[in-house]
Amino acid sequence: MGFFSKRRQQPQPIEIKGRQLECPICRNDTFFIKKTLLNTRLLSFLELDWANRNATCFVCSDCTHISWFDT
């Protein structure tokens, strides 16, 4: 049924271009992955819909700093 498929995932190491992603704040190396749209009501309000893009966010599992990657 997939009802529980949106449970919080386990943090995991991320590799970007062959390099281990490391949190610039706390040097942690495991992250939660979030796919999101860089689409906000504010952007739409400002008619910046052209700026709407898909993005992948890696949320540091320790300090919650977010690293964004345009996908």
Cβ 17 to Zn ion, closest distance in Å? 20
Cβ 20 to Zn ion, closest distance in Å? 14
25 binds Zn ion (CB under 5 A): yes
Which among 10, 71, 45, 12 has a CA at the least distance from the CA of 21? 12
Distances, alpha carbon 58 to alpha carbons 25, 35, 39, 44, 55, in Å: 13, 9, 17, 24, 10
Rounded CA gap, 47 and 22, in Å? Answer: 35
Judged by CB under 5 A, the residue of 40, 46, 63, 71 near Zn ion is 63
23 binds Zn ion (CB under 5 A): yes
Point out which residues bind Zn ion (CB under 5 A): 23, 25-26, 28, 60, 62-63, 65
